[in-house]
Chain A
């Protein structure tokens, strides 16, 4: 269990850093949803299934989607 927890924590750290290191917003979103998924797995491993479910829904689906739509909106405004 401890090994699993350490692995998950390392994955969260790695994907979290990756979100910051990717500089193009549209690509950042994809990495961010992966980061959200890792966070969800981490919550599940640390025995917080309720939080894991919320994180799965919000972090890996809703947040990247909303950000993507907001980016499209911003791109449209720039063109004008």
Chain B
């Protein structure tokens, strides 16, 4: 199957890539340098104009807040895509929920050590997730990062027990609604500005005192909406995957 021209074509492409890559690397600013002009500007403006100490959050949710809507909907659409792909298996398994309940996930459950560790970590994980979401405008973190941390809490419960318990803990309906509210909330908050005759996503709320959880005005609210959508989106995704992956096909054949 090996053609000599194939190697030649690869060599040509690789040489081109190497050349362009090296040329691109030559323009990279060296590490540990002073921040760029944009960095210096944003460092000054974030505190003065937005009362926010985490500049990255200020850029993400305010200075380029419109772009972040796109980013949020990338996640939203990927979750939808995964759900559509898994739909067939998903519908099948939903009907034999009762049967699913009768067949345990595995013969022997997780060890007591695993149960103790995961269950004792669940509470701290939720608190830490909420902390990271809530302090997005003060310290590194925010809706995206905290949302993923929050989504791992039900996963820990699943590790300690079985899928049935995971389902009982999350309340799927509520998670679906939470995802929709989080995704739609961002855009709706943006529309609020129009009522005041301002451009989309212009801050209307009081900026608050720097260093408190309520500082940043609309930015803080958007941060919470993103946290909700990311946490719920990941749980919906996990639920769909587990629903279709962990259902034992053998048990269906028997019945």
Contact B237 A53 (CB under 8 A): no
Count contacts on A: residues with CB < 8 A to the other chain.
Answer: 23
Contact B245 A72 (CB under 8 A): yes
Report A8 CB to chain B, min CB distance, Å.
11
Contacts of B140 in A (CB 8 A): 49-50, 52-53
Report A80 CB to chain B, min CB distance, Å.
8
Question: What range describes how many residues of B lie at the interface?
Answer: 20 to 34
Inter-chain residue pair count (beta carbon < 8 A): 50
Contact A1 B242 (CB under 8 A): no
Contact B141 A50 (CB under 8 A): yes
Report A56 CB to chain B, min CB distance, Å.
8
Pick the contact of A46 from B31, B141, B241, B245 — CB < 8 Å? B31
Contacts of A80 in B (CB 8 A): 249
Contact B145 A70 (CB under 8 A): no
Binding site for A on B (CB under 8 A): 31-32, 54, 56-57, 86, 89, 132, 140-142, 144-145, 148-149, 152, 155, 234, 237-238, 241-242, 244-246, 249
Ranked nearest first, the 7 interchain pairs of A and B with the lowest CB-CB distance are: A57-B148, A49-B140, A69-B241, A50-B56, A53-B145, A72-B245, A50-B140
20 other A-B residue contacts (CB within 8 Å) besides A5-B32, A72-B246, A73-B245: A1-B32, A2-B32, A5-B31, A49-B140, A50-B140, A50-B142, A53-B132, A53-B140, A53-B145, A54-B144, A54-B145, A56-B145, A57-B145, A58-B148, A66-B241, A69-B238, A70-B241, A73-B86, A73-B244, A80-B249
